[in-house]
Amino acid sequence: EPEVTQTPSHQVTQMGQEVILRCVPISNHLYFYWYRQILGQKVEFLVSFYNNEISEKSEIFDDQFSVERPDGSNFTLKIRSTKLEDSAMYFCASRDRMGTGELFFGEGSRLTVL
């Protein structure tokens, strides 16, 4: 069964360091997303990406965040200068069509900022 894969599964970093989280969406999917979940809190939308550009972003997704699809398979989330409050589980998701097509999530990358 096709799945969304994410790396690394866990990353520990020092405050102020840059972090890149990687995702390989399902191969025939066209719409890509990042969500995050702070421990014990709700899953929150960060950003959506289609046709090589951001289609929507939340207030959380400020200038320290960026996304990129550097090749035909990878989708990355970069945090330029991490803060303690960036510690969370980051989920990549993809869907094959707009509207209400099912959104499939990866297993997540746990980011711990010290």
Partner 1 sequence: EDQVTQSPEALRLQEGESSSLNCSYTVSGLRGLFWYRQDPGKGPEFLFTLYSAGEEKEKERLKATLTKKESFLHITAPKPEDSATYLCAVQAATGGYNKLIFGAGTRLAVHP
Closer residue to partner 1 (CB): 28 or 100? 100
Q: Quick one: which of 87, 104, 111, 113 contacts partner 1 (CB under 8 A)?
A: 104
Q: How far is CA 17 from CA 11, 64, 93, in A?
A: 12, 11, 25
State phi, psi for 86 to the nearest 5 degrees.
-80, -10
Task: Name which of 82 and 109 has its Cβ closer to partner 1.
Answer: 109
CB of 81 to partner 1, least distance (A): 25
Assign 28 to helix, strand or coil.
Answer: coil
The residues that bridge with 113 in the sheet, in sequence order, are: 13
Which residue, 27 or 55, has its beta carbon nearer to partner 1? 55
Residue 65 engages partner 1 in binding (rule: CB under 8 A):
no
Contacting range for partner 1; rule: CB under 8 A; set: 14-22, 41-49, 64-72, 75-83: 41-49
Beta-carbon contacts of residue 42 (< 8 Å; ≥ 6 apart):
none
